[in-house]
Chain A
């Protein structure tokens, strides 16, 4: 591949052919703002925030998609660029629901950050707003058109990465929206509730369906025993919400906070994960020995399960019949634990804290219940837990480290590797190896 030499803000720079202006600029520590750009996923040059001036070109060009060429002279901060960016950002803001104070993405919003960074103090353009629909019918995802800026990141992730494709552009001009087909709700189309759209939304147009109030209601009901189980990922992510280093484990503070929120018992989903591994390992063994359907595919992810059910039903027999760790834990709590502790399962509320919005969908699946009593009653995300801790004014960072409650808080290393790609099956196979070799694998 050839090298390309060109100038950016007067600096000469040589980069490989095919590099975009945006990439080249960032190599030179020159930042260019973006909103719609997602490398490799959404390179559509739509939002026009990354416009740069190229000497001799008629109009400004989108740096995110413009491949560098020999001899071009790029200006990333000329008066023309500054003005166009400001007009453009003002226009986006003029069609955006700017109730930032009550927005879940406030202080974590790319649009809000850009408005600050580009020094937009007032918005000279006012007028009609395009989006009106707030779709909150899904168990997992709330889609708020009043905040959507049509960057189409959600659409690209849903289509190209997840292979689901329930979001797409409809309508024209000012009435354009990114919606499910025929204006339906996400609950009525083949959405698998995976939440990747939420992760990639730069603003608050997509968010998880909040179940915080349901949890408070349960905690505040004196007749209920409220038990919380937390997935392994939560202890690695929660600290970030309180300004701590990304990925730093905080199991002790998390358990302490959960107890202070008023949960009667604080358990670990890893317990259920261990049970899942044993079940799944034996199921695989059974399939291998009895000519069952192979390959066997794990069943821990409710998004994946719905994806198979909706788009590839021919592979349903390949799915493990095991419940996910979330529901394995819930089912054991409402049967074994309830029996041991003399609690009527109907008076028990199991809350799970999960890193995935599809878990909200899973907990209400009717086959995951006994006598109309769901294995897990409420599922909240790590973000929701953080919001609960904050609103309860718990000084999280000053909390002592505490342990999970006994028995259902215990687990092995097999459960911990669940979160990694291929981890579930590795854990199952390791367990199976122990069973067949009749000795313990050093890692287990």
Chain B
């Protein structure tokens, strides 16, 4: 192996790829050739670092210099300065507080300080398209240990001891799930292992990032699961909208086969295991386990009734273990370090870490992994860097369309499965969307319900029709047609749907509405009774007006108005014709004197 004096890590996650990181790699190599130092420096495209807000991200080792928002035009200078002359290029180094202080390595950054990376350990560290790098970071050591030194029951016991619970949102104990599938009798001896990579919550990209950054971890874990339950075949069900993840996973599977890690006689034992990718066609409901299995079988992606549970009758009616990507990503570490090690992290009933995709009104949009028990406040203000533009925190949405929201009073909640449920939300798969004072909570509820309504499979009436009726009531409320009793009607429908829908999608679809009613009932009441949207979001409830005293009559607003709704003589206060106004907000942005209000 050739000696390299420096390694440059460039993020190749979906976020940084879309902000141009692929071009950076090409440009970098071009410049290195120009300076004739290509042999001395290794350029590695990795998975997601996590700080997507600052992408494309480039890290130069051995110093660990953290360059953010790097453009193609910066590369020549970076190479010249940093790699040829050995001087850090100050202007591109991320200064967290904007005070010019440059952290020496990423671990100094507030964003990373409180994190603990187990599932994401290799993300942003190794080249996911190179199996040797995975092996270099102890990859496939766990599988070898399992196959050569442990019985299947010992593997399951270790998972049980770890306390690992399903990271897809349900939080079911993984060891127990494996035990059920292990104990289940298959009519012909065939069992299956499946991986749910049909991540679909709005704003969530945890599983995508794991597959993009560390696909071998998932392969290794699935092989371990196969050994534990007695399955020889696995399926990874991944959305077709994740092209980079699918591409890298396929490369990883091919490499694993080439190395004999998938196939017959793995590590010289009798164990055989094979993996196949199945692409989802974009139906959110296929993230529900029974719908996912229908989809793999080539049927319409509709949930089927449980029981029978997948552990007894899953894929092709055979016992099946199905876990999500992040759950699997923890398995190799648990096998290497022991269940007790994993269980030493986290809270009493929620062990280990949890990956979140942080988005919305937050400074550090990105991917993070925290030990269970970290508070919401720590995530938002320390890791997330707080709310932009000095706005007030209003709520955090967790659990996506199945979850709820946590108001400011819940900021000190220690995040784990049970605490989030007690606080009125749920863990979900890890989407965490922050909302500030400018977000209307009725509008948020409407957004999520519109999503679930659209994504309902249509099989059962509570979900198919019930969520539609709820949505119609919310449309009325946001559209100024709300009437007394709407809140109660929403609650009654919500309870009915929760109790009677066929699958998890329907049973949880009303949650965002119930949670927002619980914590922000006053906003609903303002919409219904006063026909006002306190956050100024619901257009039908807004009236734009010009403050006569502040208006200088400059005419800029009138010029910018796309529908000619503003008129007035020069140097005299202007007026808005509310009949013409389409409430687009252009005038507010244009007014230099802040004279236009909406209320």
Enumerate chain A interface residues (CB-CB to B < 8 A): 44-48, 51, 59-60, 62, 65-67, 80, 83-84, 87-88, 91-92, 94-95, 124-125, 127-128, 130, 149-150, 168-169, 171-176
- Apart from A59-B498, A91-B461: 20 A-B pairs, beta carbons within 8 A: A47-B460, A48-B502, A59-B499, A59-B500, A59-B507, A67-B307, A67-B308, A91-B496, A95-B468, A124-B489, A125-B465, A125-B493, A149-B461, A169-B302, A172-B455, A173-B463, A173-B464, A173-B468, A174-B458, A176-B464
B501 within 8 A of A: yes
B138 within 8 A of A: no
On whether the beta carbons of A125 and B460 are closer than 8 Å, the reply is no
Enumerate chain B interface residues (CB-CB to A < 8 A): 283, 285, 300, 302, 304-305, 307-308, 453-469, 472, 489, 492-493, 495-502, 507
13 pairs from A and B in contact (CB 8 Å cutoff):
A45-B502, A47-B460, A59-B500, A59-B501, A60-B499, A66-B307, A84-B500, A91-B469, A125-B493, A150-B461, A150-B464, A172-B285, A174-B453
Contacting residues, chain A, for B493 (C-beta < 8 A): 87, 125
Complex CA–CA separation, A124 to B464 (angstroms):
17
Complex CA–CA separation, A179 to B453 (angstroms):
20
Contacting residues, chain A, for B283 (C-beta < 8 A): 172
Q: Which partner residue on chain B sits nearest A69 by CB separation?
A: B307
On whether the beta carbons of B305 and A173 are closer than 8 Å, the reply is no
On whether the beta carbons of A62 and B502 are closer than 8 Å, the reply is yes
Q: Which of B300, B468, B472, B499 contacts A80 (CB 8 A)?
A: B499
Contacting residues, chain A, for B501 (C-beta < 8 A): 48, 59
Q: Which of B300, B308, B456, B500 contacts A87 (CB 8 A)?
A: B500
Interface centre among A60, A80, A95, A125 (most CB of B within 10 A): A125
Q: A173-B468, A174-B453 are in contact. Are A88 and B458 (CB under 8 A)?
A: no
Contacting residues, chain A, for B465 (C-beta < 8 A): 91-92, 94-95, 125, 130, 174
Q: Which partner residue on chain B sits nearest A171 by CB separation?
A: B458
The smallest C-beta distance from A125 to any residue of chain B, in angstroms, reads 4
Q: Helix, strand, loop or mixed for chain B's interface?
A: helix
Complex CA–CA separation, A113 to B453 (angstroms):
29
Q: Which partner residue on chain A sits nearest B468 by CB separation?
A: A174
Q: Which of A91, A124, A150 contacts B462 (CB 8 A)?
A: A91
On whether the beta carbons of A60 and B469 are closer than 8 Å, the reply is no
Q: A59-B498, A84-B499, A169-B300 are in contact. Are A128 and B472 (CB under 8 A)?
A: yes
Q: Which partner residue on chain A sits nearest B492 by CB separation?
A: A87
Q: Which partner residue on chain B sits nearest A152 by CB separation?
A: B459
A-B contact count (CB 8 A): 119
Pick the 9 closest A-B CB pairs, nearest first: A176-B458, A87-B496, A45-B305, A173-B456, A91-B465, A84-B500, A127-B472, A174-B468, A125-B469
Q: Which of B308, B472, B496, B502 contacts A46 (CB 8 A)?
A: B502
The smallest C-beta distance from B477 to any residue of chain A, in angstroms, reads 14
Contacting residues, chain A, for B453 (C-beta < 8 A): 173-174
Q: Which partner residue on chain A sits nearest B458 by CB separation?
A: A176
Complex CA–CA separation, A94 to B492 (angstroms):
15
On whether the beta carbons of A51 and B500 are closer than 8 Å, the reply is yes
Complex CA–CA separation, A47 to B461 (angstroms):
6
Complex CA–CA separation, A93 to B547 (angstroms):
51
The smallest C-beta distance from A172 to any residue of chain B, in angstroms, reads 6
On whether the beta carbons of A176 and B502 are closer than 8 Å, the reply is no
Complex CA–CA separation, A404 to B226 (angstroms):
74
Complex CA–CA separation, A321 to B200 (angstroms):
58
Q: Which of B461, B472, B496 contacts A92 (CB 8 A)?
A: B461
Complex CA–CA separation, A130 to B472 (angstroms):
13
Q: Which partner residue on chain A sits nearest B307 by CB separation?
A: A67
Contacting residues, chain A, for B462 (C-beta < 8 A): 48, 87-88, 91
On whether the beta carbons of A46 and B460 are closer than 8 Å, the reply is yes
Interface centre among B461, B493, B502 (most CB of A within 10 A): B461
Complex CA–CA separation, A46 to B507 (angstroms):
14
Contacting residues, chain A, for B472 (C-beta < 8 A): 127-128
Q: Which of B308, B457, B469 contacts A127 (CB 8 A)?
A: B469
Contacting residues, chain A, for B463 (C-beta < 8 A): 173
On whether the beta carbons of B500 and A176 are closer than 8 Å, the reply is no
Contacting residues, chain A, for B285 (C-beta < 8 A): 172
On whether the beta carbons of A169 and B458 are closer than 8 Å, the reply is yes
On whether the beta carbons of B304 and A44 are closer than 8 Å, the reply is yes
Complex CA–CA separation, A240 to B70 (angstroms):
82
Contacting residues, chain B, for A88 (C-beta < 8 A): 461-462, 466, 496, 500
Contacting residues, chain B, for A175 (C-beta < 8 A): 458
Contacting residues, chain A, for B468 (C-beta < 8 A): 95, 127-128, 173-174
Contacting residues, chain B, for A171 (C-beta < 8 A): 458
The smallest C-beta distance from B391 to any residue of chain A, in angstroms, reads 34
Q: Which partner residue on chain B sits nearest A169 by CB separation?
A: B300
Q: A91-B461, A95-B465 are in contact. Are A173 and B454 (CB under 8 A)?
A: yes
Complex CA–CA separation, A92 to B458 (angstroms):
12
Complex CA–CA separation, A67 to B492 (angstroms):
29
On whether the beta carbons of B458 and A91 are closer than 8 Å, the reply is no
Contacting residues, chain A, for B467 (C-beta < 8 A): 173-174
Complex CA–CA separation, A124 to B496 (angstroms):
13
Interface centre among A48, A83, A124 (most CB of B within 10 A): A48
Contacting residues, chain B, for A47 (C-beta < 8 A): 460-461
Contacting residues, chain B, for A84 (C-beta < 8 A): 496, 499-500
Q: Which of A67, A124, A174 contacts B456 (CB 8 A)?
A: A174
Complex CA–CA separation, A173 to B302 (angstroms):
11
Q: A173-B468, A174-B464 are in contact. Are A62 and B458 (CB under 8 A)?
A: no
The smallest C-beta distance from B557 to any residue of chain A, in angstroms, reads 38
Q: Which partner residue on chain A sits nearest B475 by CB separation?
A: A127
Q: Which of A60, A62, A168, A173 contacts B455 (CB 8 A)?
A: A173
Contacting residues, chain B, for A67 (C-beta < 8 A): 307-308
Contacting residues, chain A, for B302 (C-beta < 8 A): 169
Complex CA–CA separation, A45 to B290 (angstroms):
13
The smallest C-beta distance from A305 to any residue of chain B, in angstroms, reads 31
On whether the beta carbons of A172 and B500 are closer than 8 Å, the reply is no
Interface centre among B454, B464, B497, B498 (most CB of A within 10 A): B464
Contacting residues, chain A, for B469 (C-beta < 8 A): 91, 94, 125, 127
The smallest C-beta distance from A144 to any residue of chain B, in angstroms, reads 18
Complex CA–CA separation, A172 to B302 (angstroms):
10
Complex CA–CA separation, A171 to B492 (angstroms):
27
Contacting residues, chain B, for A87 (C-beta < 8 A): 462, 466, 492-493, 496-497, 500
Contacting residues, chain A, for B496 (C-beta < 8 A): 83-84, 87-88, 91
Contacting residues, chain A, for B461 (C-beta < 8 A): 47-48, 88, 91-92, 95, 149-150
The smallest C-beta distance from B390 to any residue of chain A, in angstroms, reads 40
Q: Which partner residue on chain A sits nearest B470 by CB separation?
A: A125
Complex CA–CA separation, A150 to B459 (angstroms):
7
The smallest C-beta distance from A173 to any residue of chain B, in angstroms, reads 4
Complex CA–CA separation, A124 to B456 (angstroms):
22
Contacting residues, chain B, for A169 (C-beta < 8 A): 300, 302, 458-459
The smallest C-beta distance from A296 to any residue of chain B, in angstroms, reads 38
The smallest C-beta distance from B133 to any residue of chain A, in angstroms, reads 41
Contacting residues, chain B, for A172 (C-beta < 8 A): 283, 285, 454-458
Interface centre among A51, A59, A80, A95 (most CB of B within 10 A): A59
Q: Which partner residue on chain B sits nearest A47 by CB separation?
A: B461
Contacting residues, chain A, for B304 (C-beta < 8 A): 44-45
Contacting residues, chain B, for A62 (C-beta < 8 A): 305, 502
Complex CA–CA separation, A424 to B453 (angstroms):
52
Complex CA–CA separation, A47 to B458 (angstroms):
11
Q: Which partner residue on chain A sits nearest B463 by CB separation?
A: A173
Contacting residues, chain B, for A149 (C-beta < 8 A): 461
Contacting residues, chain A, for B464 (C-beta < 8 A): 150, 173-174, 176
Q: Which partner residue on chain B sits nearest A80 by CB separation?
A: B499
